[in-house]
Amino acid sequence: MMDHSIWLIAAIFATFFVAGTVKGVTGMGLPTVAMGVLGALISPLAAASLLIVPSFVTNVWQLLAGPNFGTLARRFFLLVIAIIVGTFAGSYLLAAGDTRRTTAALGLALILYAGHALLARQLHVPARFEPLLSPLVGAVTGLLTGATGVFVVPAVPYLQSLGLEKEELIQALGLSFTVSTVALAAALAWHGAFRIDNLALSTLAIVPALAGMWAGQVIRNRVGPMAFRCWFLICLLALGAEMVMKASF
């Protein structure tokens, strides 16, 4: 159980506002920012529990906004199943309470995600390779989701490499994020780590997350999203490096 001091609650709400702002500007990043910042304040397990409700609400919104849910659900069925299996497998590390390992794993996930987004060239995966790659990518994404609470690597770069139309990509990301969120919640509940008090605070975190998304949309209309994205990724790199170093000493 977390110590719900006024300063900790204020920090949690501020974190979800910032994370929502990032999602409003870039279309993703809420769990990455929330886990990155909260993981430095509280245990990664508690941070993952707080992430569940605001992440679920924002991702379902993103999923249902697109026009091709049925088609994408059939296309990425193997990806979805592998994410679920991988999340349950990886959740043993998060639920074990070994904060040094989970903090290091979270830091590495942030570094990999930000480093790839900043430096790597856009990949292009032919559709004929999807039956082989989708379950592999889903399993790795699930393992990282279960272990760290961050579910962007490698699912995001993989989906971006498939040549989907803009609206299809946004909806496919929403599908991946929603499944990852539900699987993480189920895995934490399975381990007895998803507490009612954390659920109540997680529900309240919807308010700053949605307010942040609104603010992010305003910022997106005034500041170039590419410049914002670049500085955001640099900050994630620094945060990931700091978490790895903290876990090493």
Where does residue 199 rank: exposed (0-12), middle (13-18), buried (19+ CB within 10 A)? middle
Q: Let me know: does 212 contact 18? Beta carbons within 8 Å.
A: yes
- Average pLDDT of span 48-74: 87
Is the residue at 192 inside a domain? yes
Looking at residue 193, what is its pLDDT? 78
pLDDT of residue 249: 66
Count: domains in the chain: 1
Helices and strands per DSSP (H, E), number in the chain = 12, 0
Which pLDDT does position 209 carry in this prediction?
Answer: 93
| pTM flag (> 0.75) | yes
Q: Look at the block and give the residue holding tokens 């609470």.
A: 149
CA trace torsion 228, 160, 53, 234 (10° rounding): -30
Q: Does residue 1 lie within any of the structural domains?
A: no
pLDDT at residue 226 greater than cutoff 70: yes
Q: pLDDT category, 212, cuts 50, 70, 90?
A: very high
Task: Give pLDDT tens digits for 34-45.
Answer: 988 887 788 888
pLDDT at 1 over 50: no
Give the pLDDT confidence of 95-104 residue by residue, as tens digits: 876 667 777 8
181 pLDDT more than 90: yes
Give which of 126, 111, 99, 101 is closest to 41, Cα–Cα.
Answer: 99
**139 and 82 Cβ atoms separated by less than 8 Å:** yes
| Residue 112, token pair as written in the block | 């990999």
Across residues 71-83, what is the average pLDDT? 96
Domain with 28 in it: 6-248
Other CB atoms within 10 Å distance of the CB of residue 157: 18
Instruction: Tell me, yes or no, whether 28 lies in a domain.
Output: yes
Dihedral pair phi/psi, residue 90, rounded to 5°? -75, -20
